[in-house]
Amino acid sequence: MLSYFFRRLMAGIPTLLISFTLVFFIAHATPGSPWDTSSNRPLEAAVKARLDAKYHLDDPLYVQYIDYLAGALQGDFGPSFRDRTKSVTDIVAQFLPVSMKLGSAAMLLAVVLGLPLGALAALSRHRVIDGVVRLISTLGISMPSYVVTSILIVAFGVGLGWVPTFGWKGVFSASSLVPIFSLALAPLAAIIRCFRTSMLEVMNLDFIRTARAKGLRPATVIIHHMGRNALIPAITVIGAYTSYVLVGSFFVESIAGIPGFGRYFVLAVAARDYPVIIGTTLIYALFVIVINLIVDLSYFLLDPRVRAEHGR
């Protein structure tokens, strides 16, 4: 099992290198300059040249590529161009935790609500409850997060005044309610759908009938026998959404005024802040790799067949 994970971890390295190469060249190929800000006047050519020289943007692109790669391997992702007093590492340390806290809360909400609702829908198939749950899940999947966030802010912030319309005062404050719910909606809907389907598949299998025939309590059958087996496909969905939600959503964070990673990333793209664009993309790629690995790890714990295949 260990060697399997070691191999998987090693396979992540070329993935990271390819992501880095792609984002490096795409970022530099995008027209625009990190120095020409939104002031009325165009930047003096001499000033631009000096800034380019200071940050080595006047070097040939392949030299910059190698330099950046060499720095990145030593954990130095360079300075941010948008805020020159900070390094990319500072920025990740400041903004990623905010997104991760919100994202964790949102995923927690999605899992805690999604699994029971999915099971409920499966158990009451084709009845009213099933219809209602499926309606919720269809709405959740089809409504983009920026629409949900805007509607929630207008309704509960401007209209009712229950939550602030804007800003961030920590994850345990009213300011995080709207973003958490907006972030949770899409994974919630996906979890409901996926878990409902897999529960439906599992519930007609022989071993469930056996469990029932043995006279086990219905709750035990549902949770331990059906739930555990139906969870395997749901874990894949949860994993995919976790890496997506934890690094933050630009729309939700911008609209709700959350100083998070997703918002910063898109601001960096607009500002042509190359080191931040590259650094944050690598973090994102790393997240996807690690979470996929965790998902695989969970198969080991949940599914004896996978254990049997890779175990020795």
Partner 1 sequence: MRLSHALLASAIALLAVGEAKPVIAETPSAFRMIVGEPRYMDPNLASDFSIYVNAQLFQPLARIKSDGQLEMLQAKNIELGSDGRTWTITLNPNYKWSDGTPVTAADWEYSWKRILDPKVASDVAAFLSDVENADQYNKGTITDASQVGIKATGEYTFQVMTAKVAPQFRAKLALPYLTPVPKAVVEQFGDAWVAPEHMVTNGPYKLVSRVNDQSIVMEANPHYGGKKPAIPRIEMTIASGDLCTAQLRAYEADEVDFVTCLPSQDIDRLQKDPELSKQLDPFPLAATEWVQYDMTNPTWQDKRVRHALGLAIDRNAIVVAVSNGTARPAASIVPDSIPGGSSGDAIKGSVDDARKLLADAGYPDGNGFPQFTITTTANRGRPLIAQLLQQMWSENLGIQASINVLEENAYRAWVQSRKTEKYDTAIQGWWSDYADPANWYGDLVLSDFRQNHFSNAEFAALVEKGNSEPDPAKRIEFFRAANKILEEEQPMSAIQNPTDLWMVKPHVRGLKHEGVLNMYHIEEATLE
Binding positions for partner 1, rule: CB under 8 A:
30-33, 36-44, 46-47, 50-51, 54, 82-86, 94-95, 97, 100-101, 104-105, 107-108, 111, 153-154, 157-158, 161, 164-173, 223-224, 227-228, 231, 254-255, 257, 259, 263-264, 267, 270-272, 298, 301-302
d(CA 262, CA 278): 14
Smallest distance from partner 1 to CB 193, Å: 19
Smallest distance from partner 1 to CB 263, Å: 6
Is the CB of 124 or the CB of 165 nearer to partner 1? Answer: 165
Is the CB of 85 or the CB of 204 nearer to partner 1? Answer: 85
Is the CB of 258 or the CB of 288 nearer to partner 1? Answer: 258
Is the CB of 253 or the CB of 288 nearer to partner 1? Answer: 253
Smallest distance from partner 1 to CB 73, Å: 26
Is the CB of 49 or the CB of 69 nearer to partner 1? Answer: 49
Per DSSP, what are the bridge partners of residue 57?
Answer: none
Is the CB of 185 or the CB of 258 nearer to partner 1? Answer: 258
Q: Tokens 């931040």 correspond to what residue?
A: 276
Is the CB of 14 or the CB of 42 nearer to partner 1? Answer: 42
Smallest distance from partner 1 to CB 5, Å: 16
- What phi and psi values does residue 43 have, to the nearest 5 degrees? -70, 135
Smallest distance from partner 1 to CB 150, Å: 8
Smallest distance from partner 1 to CB 310, Å: 17
CA dihedral 262, 299, 19, 254 (to 10 degrees): -10
Smallest distance from partner 1 to CB 212, Å: 20
